[in-house]
């Protein structure tokens, strides 16, 4: 079972690790034949089952590195977000490393929140004690390397973390103007330096409209059942790094809104990706070598599809119909998607390619 972003429950028969990338041969075929907006099918080519102590549930979002290794957090109602992150080789079906809050000496953490995996496999984990927030750094083998304390108030609710090649951090979330008013949570994005100091707030073009929609009670942006989630456009958004040196921050809106942000905090470009159906919202995004693979999902019907987008132009270069595959966790060369699910307490990684 997958526990989708921010722990709303959802049962999945099989979750498949997908890694898709745009090979030259595929690019030529798309340019010469199938229109970019005409859905093509993807087909599962293999499933690798792994024995795991994660049990019957995992917590999204899911991450992968440049080698295609996948990073998974289990879900436990007691431990909640303090459960370790585990790294898997999805081809061989083995666990490669474990990343634990307990390995950071001298601190008692209440939560382990968003994490980010650099291309070389280093892992950064945004955490909180009772009074402070930290970013922990781990080597690719799970060894604890160090910590940075963030100079920002406790009311800040972080949902996305990214790390630039130079060591700067991008953090996005919700920042209550009045900590006593839970409903007044405004979108916030900032650049923090290596010492954890906020050096720049970033005003994104659509933040005011997103905030106003949540304040109106628009069900696409706020939940009556789970008001503590805040604005869904932010809390259920995502972020990925890119080989061009920017990070790509995605808001959960329809169409999907994606901002390319430089290490200096400049919004290099704004990309709008339309699924073709206003009821489909972006659920996950993964990137590789100038491409973004975005999974759109209808939370009522379960319908979903993928759009492959050029990062430099924002052009959609391919569309793929999704045949009930969830747990989208990786997008890798050559033209392969990977998903994850659990079955009888085991992890099932499935690899799929276009037909």
| Mean per-residue pLDDT over the chain, rounded | 83
Ordered alpha helix ranges (H), 92-144: none
Q: How far is CA 258 from CA 20, 237, 311, in A?
A: 19, 10, 10
Confidence (pLDDT) at 226? 65
Q: How far is CA 180 from CA 11, 158, 224, 254, in A?
A: 35, 18, 19, 30
* Domain 2-354, CATH class in plain words: mainly beta
pTM of the entire predicted model: 0.86
Report the alpha-carbon distance of residue 125 to residue 158 in Å, rounded: 12
* pLDDT per position as a tens digit, 283-341: 999 998 899 999 999 988 888 899 999 999 999 999 999 877 888 999 987 778 999 98
Query: Tokens 């917590």 appear where?
Result: 59
Angle at 316 between CA 255 and CA 119, to 5 degrees: 95
* pLDDT per position as a tens digit, 116-168: 999 889 999 999 888 889 999 999 999 999 999 998 765 678 999 999 999 99
Q: pLDDT category, 21, cuts 50, 70, 90?
A: very low
Closest CA to 271 of 240, 297, 298, 243: 240
Report the alpha-carbon distance of residue 123 to residue 117 in Å, rounded: 5
More confident residue, 191 or 18: 191
Poorest-pLDDT segment among 98-102, 184-188, 289-293: 184-188
- Name the phi and psi angles at 7, rounded to 5: 70, 35
Q: What does the domain layout of the chain look like in residue ranges?
A: 2-354
266 CB-near residues (< 8 Å, 6+ apart): none
Report the alpha-carbon distance of residue 31 to residue 253 in Å, rounded: 28
The radius of gyration of the chain from alpha carbons, rounded to an integer in Å, stands at: 19
Confidence (pLDDT) at 229? 63
Q: pLDDT category, 344, cuts 50, 70, 90?
A: confident
Residue 105 reports pLDDT greater than 60: yes
For residue 71, whether the previous peptide bond is cis, meaning omega lies within 30 degrees of 0, is no
The answer to whether 327 touches 62, Cβ cutoff 8 Å, is: yes
Determine the distance from the C-alpha atom of residue 149 to the mean position of all C-alpha atoms in its chain, rounded to a whole number.
23
- Tell me what the mean pLDDT of segment 29-56 comes to: 75
Residue 11 reports pLDDT greater than 70: no
């Amino acid at each position: 079972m997958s526990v989708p972003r921010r722990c709303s429950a959802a049962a999945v028969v099989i979750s498949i690790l997908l890694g898709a990338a745009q090979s030259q041969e595929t690019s030529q075929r798309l340019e010469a034949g199938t229109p970019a907006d005409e859905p093509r099918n993807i087909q599962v080519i293999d499933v690798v089952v792994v024995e795991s102590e994660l049990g019957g549930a995992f917590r999204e979002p899911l991450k992968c590195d440049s080698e295609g290794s996948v990073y998974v957090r289990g879900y436990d109602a007691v431990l909640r977000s303090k459960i370790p992150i585990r790294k898997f080789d999805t081809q061989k079906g083995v666990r490669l490393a474990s990343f634990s809050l307990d390995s950071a000496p001298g601190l008692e953490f209440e939560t382990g929140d968003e994490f980010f995996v650099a291309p070389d496999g280093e892992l950064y984990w945004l955490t909180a004690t009772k009074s402070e927030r930290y970013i922990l750094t781990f080597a690719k083998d799970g060894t604890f390397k160090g910590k940075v304390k963030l100079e920002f108030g406790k009311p800040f609710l972080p949902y996305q973390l990214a790390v630039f090649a130079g060591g700067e951090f991008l953090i996005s979330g919700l920042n209550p103007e009045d900590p006593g008013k839970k409903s007044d949570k405004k979108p916030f994005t900032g650049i923090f330096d290596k010492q954890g100091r906020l050096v720049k707030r970033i005003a994104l073009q659509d933040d005011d409209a997103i905030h106003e929609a949540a304040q109106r009670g628009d069900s696409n942006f706020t939940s009556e059942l789970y008001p503590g989630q805040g604005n869904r456009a932010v809390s259920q958004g995502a972020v990925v790094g890119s080989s061009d040196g920017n990070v790509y921050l995605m808001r959960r809106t329809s169409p999907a809104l994606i901002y390319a942000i430089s290490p200096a905090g400049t919004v290099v470009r704004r990309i709008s990706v339309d699924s073709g159906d206003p009821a489909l919202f972006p659920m996950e995004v993964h990137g590789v070598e100038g491409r973004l693979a975005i999974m759109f999902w209808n939370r009522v019907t379960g319908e979903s599809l993928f759009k492959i987008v050029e990062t430099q132009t924002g052009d959609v270069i391919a569309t793929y119909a999704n045949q009930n595959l969830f747990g989208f966790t990786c997008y890798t060369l050559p033209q392969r998607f990977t998903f994850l699910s659990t079955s009888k307490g085991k992890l099932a990684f499935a690899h799929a390619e276009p037909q």
